[in-house]
Chains A and B, each alone.
Chain A
């Protein structure tokens, strides 16, 4: 739910409630006080009314005695009525303090009425003397009533003295109360507002800080907001986002690292291999000696030996020169023929070599010393161990995008495990290889050179021989690869 809204509503409701309570209390209090004041005033007014009515009655009576007309008589009667009403009202004012005085007071009023009546009666009977005397008595009684009123008021003041003082005290207290209430409500409101605003702004502040950290790129700080409103929800979402981003970044970093490592491995492998290859041959001395031997053999008339030695020297020179750079297929084929010459010299009739070469394909580039180790491998496994020898067929064919090079023998074949080992570049057997470069090395170099895996295939079946197929792309994939490979 909208808990921030709810919080605001709660605060507003609380304030409203407090104000309403105060208003009701004060109104009630005010009403009560007002009622009291009214009651008190009523008492005084009632008593005063008696005095007034009695005086009016006397005045009317006087008028009537002077000029006894019906109108004046009515005047007297109406005043008497007023006096009686006043008497009724005064009766309600009875309390313990003025009980006796009030009883006398009412009797005085009765006496006044009676005396008035008597005066009028005497007048109607033409007894003027009596009438006048009754009138003077009525006047006296009226005076007594006035005095009694004062006495009663006095008593009233005495009786209510404590009460009046109480009212005054209470009104002073009320003033104090107002001040206290104002102060406490102010403070209370300040306190609650502070607390309330804090409960809203604190999470927001935390969230802001978390956002700041995130924007700076720190994804490892946990976003933690403890509140029970929307901000907390926002923070939770934020936290989830942070975790996700964090995970993504880590993934990317891992990948990058992995790739980097891979690249480096490859480079290192190349370098180390090339170095090791180079170090295996002591080139100058060896082929100089071989040249000398070849010349010597030629001079001695052993042309065959001389050729053989020349071939060996050529092979070695090639080996030395070409290992670290790309060569054309032409060069490779050339050195391959030299090698086969050497081997023919060795195996004579046991080795049959057939080559079928498409001359148009000889321009393609490939790493040096690629074909020789493969053919050598075939010689080692398919010719050397067999008494009858073997046949090695070498084919170069145009295969569209690629140049297809096939080297097949009719030897005992290669077990599948071995093929797998070679293709996965795990095998490193150099035993028996003249150049110290094994099959596995060739595969690796080929793949690195072309930057692709599918450059070599091996087909083999027991007793049917082995066929190694190289699929050399006609164009190198990129310049960069070239440079990289040239670097060694």
Chain B
């Protein structure tokens, strides 16, 4: 499987450094657009949706006017056919300003969706303080991706509640509940049709297979969580699932193309 076999879109990646720096030098390592494009080429991935982890930190909004989303904006500008930008809103800011930034991100910088990392940003996804952001996403018709699987802030049910309140917003449950909350994912997806999942970091193949059978492969997006995981390893997880070839095609790229409105 690769470029010649069909579209592959990685729905969940980051610009970031090591999660586990062993030395001060390792802490200086940064994986950005250059490294990502090389890795995408190596793994036969056509496009990738990326967010920077910088804007997850409150302190970044003191340092940069867009909190560190600038790096992704630059990548979109430089590589519009490869990079799908996810804008991380400032959950600590005044919502009037924040929603203005979201609109600017989509209209001026061509971001295709939003990313919220409730655990890293210290807010639960269903907190009403975030509603103006979701209202804006509904108006702009862009999806919102969440980290899921880390209690207490990133549970599948909190994310499903957002989806129920904002049915126009495609809500992407990143990591499919990870290794602790994976059993909540299918019940949560049953609650609202606009709940989508991405497969990054989800090694429980049986869950992906059951989700495809019960909820539908059209609501699953392939993702790697690069640079913490390798794209080709994560593609292999999808290829190894006991699902149809058509389902694999949907998962590996076609669903993401629809949700992020990528025109061929």
Does B bind A?
no
Q: Name B residues whose Cβ lies closer than 8 Å to a Cβ of A.
A: none
Chain A residues at the B interface, C-beta cutoff of 8 Å: none
